[in-house]
Amino acid sequence: MDFDIDAINRDLGQDPEALTRWALTLGKHAICTTNFRPFEAVILHMVTQVQPDIPVVWMDSGYNTDATYRFADDVIKRLNLNLVSYLPKRTRAHREALEGATPTIDDPRHTAFTEEVKLEPFTRALREMAPQVWLTALRAEDTPERAKMQPVSINDDGLIKVAPVLHWSAKDMYEYLVKHDLPNNFDYFDPTKVEDKRECGLHLQH
């Protein structure tokens, strides 16, 4: 590691745009993940201002709302995103024909469902794209687990995980959208999390 992670978190952790510039000028292969949830246009605008062609990786579970798909299409076009979609190995229609509707979070099958539609595609994305830097729109106020995270961390496999907006509030995010005339999406639902403050496991594994 050719930088002081504690110093970076201290000096840039409260400055999302400066932290994004730092991460994307390390000279390492970077990706940005998205799920096109509320305020997601903030991180997508921030990273493409520094590196317009950064691969933007979307784990499209096939279970997004119609509004989320329309929002995604709008943002992709506005920002000319270099989008790379990763899909489950089975389509939603295939899975539901064999196993029925989405299992609830208290259904023992929900763990396997989450693995199939989100975790496996993300693991595959990391394996195939082999990033050295991963930018994400995680925010501390999202869940108790995320409140304990640092803006920059190093995973066990050496992947540098950067969460530029970790310490931003919803108000900060909204003001950035307004400033840059960016769209938003509140009709969002993640069947792997279901509840707002619940983790799906992706950021606990990686």
E strand map for 159-199: 160-162
Q: Which two tokens stand for residue 14?
A: 């409260």
C-alpha distances (whole Å) from 48 to each of 18, 29, 53, 206 are 13, 14, 7, 23
C-alpha distances (whole Å) from 112 to each of 35, 84, 89, 96, 185 are 20, 24, 13, 14, 28
Residues near 87 by beta carbon (within 8 Å), at least 6 away in sequence = 60, 62, 121
Helices 40-50, 66-79: crossing angle, 10 deg rounding: 20
DSSP state of 104: P
Instruction: Give catalytic residues, as residue numbers.
Output: 200
